[in-house]
Amino acid sequence: MSGIILLVMATMIAGTLLAGTIVAGAVESSDFDDPTVCKGCHGEIYNQWDGSMHSIAYTDPVYLAEEEMASRETDGLTDTYCARCHTPIGVLSGEVPPIGLENLSEISKKGIQCDFCHSVNKSTGIGNGAFMVSTDGIKRGPHDDSKAPYHGSMFSELHTKSEFCGMCHDVNHPVTGIAIEETYTEWKEGPYNSTTQCQDCHMTPGVTHFEANPGKASGIGPYRDHVYSHYFVGGNAAVTGVIGSEVHQRMAEERLKSAATLALDAEMKDNEAEITVEVTNVGAGHKLPTGLTEAREAWMEILAEDATGKEIYHSGGLDSVGEVDPDAVMYHVVLGDASGDPTMKVWEAESILFDNRILPKETRVERYNFAIPGGLKGPITVDAKLNYRSASQKFLDELFEDGAVVAPVIEMASAQGMMEVEKESGVPGFECIFVLISLLAVAYLVRRRKK
């Protein structure tokens, strides 16, 4: 990055921090309660949070590796910019910079934790960590009748709105303004913005819709018609698997498998297959995929085989190093650097070269055509899959040693179709040749007799 860009970046990041919060270092991390303190009364909610992506927002190994690379390549200018949403207490208390775990208190290592969220008292806007906090000991939340012997309680409308999530789940490059993450904006510009909040999907038992969760938020609290769950499930089944959180991994896979549907039509005309696949975003209030969009990958895989299992056509498979077939239909974002070349380093982003993601409720139609060779045993089976992984292998190999970390490929949706082999199609088989030879032999004998 050029010296001018670095200077502008430093100025804008500093301005963002000062505008969004009290001055870093004005509070101590000890001003916030450790989540284990909250567990005393909110045991079930604590167990839901523990192992979630929020709980490991700063200790996530993929985040730590990318943060270290960004810090090194920008002379530390991204340190507080990224950490602000990954360890907000660490930034507010001045423990970051420097980055890394060595200088962080145990509370700051616990990412997006109870006392941080419930100490947020104001939003200064959307994106880039636009939150303010209060350390007055009063916990803000979605109810106006909460009473606790340990702390004061206060109703906060902000905690019930998508704007609360939008303070961190929109991220723009501080210099170029390029959208690095626009999950909130995608929801705001979509069809669910007047009926569904982020919390209705990501803080309820429903996989892709609101579902009431009656019960108690604490053992001593009142019974309520709905208590927000705190699993905060998204689509990251990779890191949750790495850290061994089987519950969060399973829930992430369930969410992915409920987000989209496929419909397939397969026809054969003049020895050519015509395949049409419709993919619909039925369960996400934002684009598919969302989040770290330069790393996320969703793609179509098409496989056609005859009755013996012989492969006729394959698009969207993985090669020997784990990369997706370059000709596959890919739903993702490609960022461009200053030279217009693709980059997965968000701090280098100056443009968006490609964005083929699927909007909420959108149906995308993909078409495939390929020749059918002769001599096949029918019928021909065509399988279509919408696959997903949290990061490309190339991205992970840049952060770690080649092949050290592999993101699982998750099948989000599938569909199947069949085609009968046309008898007159393709190159004549043995039976046709035999009949032809027999006819020629008969004709030859007839001519000999006439002579």
Residue 254 lies in a domain: no
pLDDT tens-digit series, residues 174-193: 899 999 999 999 999 999 99
Task: Tell me the C-alpha distance between 135 and 107, whole Å.
Answer: 15
Q: What is the largest distance, in Å, between two alpha-carbon atoms of the chain?
A: 119
Helix (H, G, I), strand (E, B) or coil at 294: coil
Asked if 152 and 204 sit in the same domain, the reply is: yes
124-133, 374-383, 439-448: range with lowest mean pLDDT: 439-448
- Give me the chain's average pLDDT, please: 90
Please report whether residue 246 resides in a domain.
no
Beta carbons of 204 and 211 less than 8 angstroms apart:
yes
- 246 backbone dihedrals φ, ψ, rounded to 5°: -65, -35
Span of 250-254, 268-272, 415-419 with lowest mean pLDDT:
268-272
In a domain, 119, yes or no: yes
pLDDT over 50 (residue 342): yes
User: Domain check: are 217 and 364 in the same one?
Assistant: no
Name the nearest CA neighbour of 136 among 153, 149, 124: 153
pLDDT at 11: 41
- Residue 451 covered by a domain: no
d(CA 50, CA 39): 10
Would you say residue 73 has pLDDT above 50?
Answer: yes
Q: 362: domain CATH number?
A: 2.60.40.10
**Quick check: is 450 in a domain?**
no
Q: What confidence score (pLDDT) does residue 23 get?
A: 54
- Tell me, yes or no, whether 103 and 140 share the same domain: yes
Share of the chain above pLDDT 90, in %: 81
Q: Are residues 24 and 95 in the same domain?
A: yes
Residue 333, beta-bridge partner list: 355
Structure tokens at 384: 């279509």
Q: 3-state DSSP helix/strand/coil percent for the chain, to nearest 5?
A: 30, 25, 45
Q: Is 366 found in the same domain as 294?
A: yes
Give the dihedral sign, CA 215/216/220/222. Answer: negative
Domain final residue, candidates 239, 274, 300:
239
Judge whether 57 and 87 are in contact, CB under 8 Å.
Answer: yes
Asked if residue 103 and residue 35 are part of one domain, the reply reads: yes
If asked whether residues 146 and 187 sit together in one domain, one would say yes
Residues 395 and 264 in one domain: yes
Question: In this structure, are residues 347 and 74 in contact, taking their beta carbons and an 8 Å threshold?
Answer: yes
For residue 170, pLDDT over 90 is answered with: yes
Regarding whether 28 and 123 lie in a shared domain, the answer is yes
Give the end-to-end CA distance of the chain in Å, rounded to a whole number. Answer: 93
Q: Are residues 206 and 352 in the same domain?
A: no
In the chain, the number of structural domains is 2
Domain membership of residue 307 as a residue range: 259-419
- Same domain for 294 and 411? yes
Model confidence pTM above 0.85: yes
Is the domain of 216 the same as that of 297?
A: no
Give the count of beta carbons closer than 10 Å to the beta carbon of residue 30. 11
